[in-house]
Amino acid sequence: MRKAKGTLQGEDSTKGLVLKMALELSMSKWKVAFGWEEKSRYVTIGARDLDRLQEEIGKARKRFGLEEGVGVLSCYEAGRDGFWLHRYLRSKGVENLVVDSSSIEVSRRKRRAKTDRLDARKLLGMLVRHGGGERGFWSVVRVPGEEEEGARHLHRELEVLRKERTMHRNRIQSLLILQGVVVKNPSGRKFLVELEGMRRWDGQGIPEEMKRRIIREHGRLRTVEEQIYALKKEEERRVREGADEAMGKVRKLMSLVGIGMMSSYKFVREAFGWREFRNRKEVGALAGLTPTPYDSGGRGREQGVSKAGNGRIRALAVEMAWVWNRFQPRSKLSQWYQERFEGGGKRMRRIGIVALARRLLIALWRYLEKGVIPEGARLRPARALITGPKA
């Protein structure tokens, strides 16, 4: 496992006398499993009862006959609670691991027993294996700093608002189509004026109750659009005026033709701004764009990409691959795609664009970290960085 800030800093901290603690979290109750050599202890505490958690750690030390100074190595699955518990445990001197729940091995029986106690026992067993030096059986989440985590809220809120905007638009259009009226863009400021003059299938106006509902829906739509506008302006301001390393990387990505401000901002905040990669395999794994072979006995086939990484980065990388192929047709990456996949059908082009997305992601990482410009790529003039395309 790669060393990472905010998680276990290498194997040395797991050596020696360490009390193991696994937490199975839920909204109302937490199952806590303690392990020491061949002994174990299981308790249930109220969710987020930190005083009780510290009390149970002390009781476990006494139960196992350990001195007060014996360290604690803990883990829990990444989920609804996020990373606040990780930061709390570390502030109390506890070494903690946040584990990717999808990476935990499970029984392949058709009907397997599953309870919070069994899950806690499973986590404890895997934590013991990890403390013993075994690696490769689970994935540990790279925990961002509080500043890096907070910086992701702006573009993620924009994602939510854009989905809400689409929802409100579709609802208005659906209500009107019930009366035989088709409207392409219900977002315009003059829409309410136009609504008064709309006529349904029989030449009559829109029914009064439906009209009132549409007006309320349009009000919510306008509120969402105003918030989107304000957040986009804030994003532009941060990119233009930001003096930190992350905003420098955003502007550097924007210097490539075809990569606009929103994509650059998201790439950096989700991946390149605070994560550290050792090689291209780690970059591809982040986005879940690594191949998944299946080779058992005489049967062998390729199952496609793993999709085990950051879904936002994966979706953005695929989208940017299409844009790159359009705006950077003379680059080596685009020529590779055109020669190998452009002549095929739609399915082959979709397969090829995923392969191009992985290569593009690696090329952008090398560009940011080592200054290697993708071969054949065109750069945008410095004066056009903020006013360029919003892709």
What is the residue-wise DSSP string for 144-168? PPHHHHHHTHHHHHHHHHHHHHHHH
Whole-number Cα distances in Å, 70 to 41, 52, 56, 58: 17, 19, 14, 10
Whether the Cβ atoms of residue 206 and residue 177 lie closer than 8 Å to each other:
no
Across the range 205-223, mean pLDDT stands at 95
Across the range 247-262, mean pLDDT stands at 93
271: number of Cβ within 10 Å: 23
Same domain for 220 and 130: no
Same domain for 255 and 374: yes
For tokens 């970059």, name the residue: 283
pLDDT band at 273 (very low <50, low <70, confident <90, very high): confident
Question: Is 274 within the bounds of a domain?
Answer: yes
Tens-digit pLDDT profile for residues 41-77: 999 999 999 999 999 999 999 999 998 889 999 999 9
Question: Is 3 within the bounds of a domain?
Answer: no
Same domain for 128 and 60: yes
Question: Is 314 within the bounds of a domain?
Answer: yes
pTM above 0.85, yes or no: no
In the prediction, which pLDDT does 69 show? 82
Q: Domain containing 36: what range?
A: 12-143
Question: Is 1 within the bounds of a domain?
Answer: no
Whether the Cβ atoms of residue 271 and residue 310 lie closer than 8 Å to each other:
yes
**Could you say which of 143, 170, 190 is where a domain stops?**
143
Tens-digit pLDDT profile for residues 304-362: 788 888 889 999 999 999 999 999 999 999 999 999 998 888 999 999 999 999 999 99
Query: SS3 for 297?
Result: coil
Q: Write the single-letter amino acid at 206.
A: I
**Does position 8 have pLDDT exceeding 60, yes or no?**
no
**Could you say which of 85, 115, 143 is where a domain stops?**
143
Same domain for 360 and 270: yes
Same domain for 264 and 356: yes
Work out the angle at residue 255's Cα, subtended by the Cα atoms of residues 254 and 256, and round it to the nearest 5 degrees.
90
Domains: count for the chain: 3
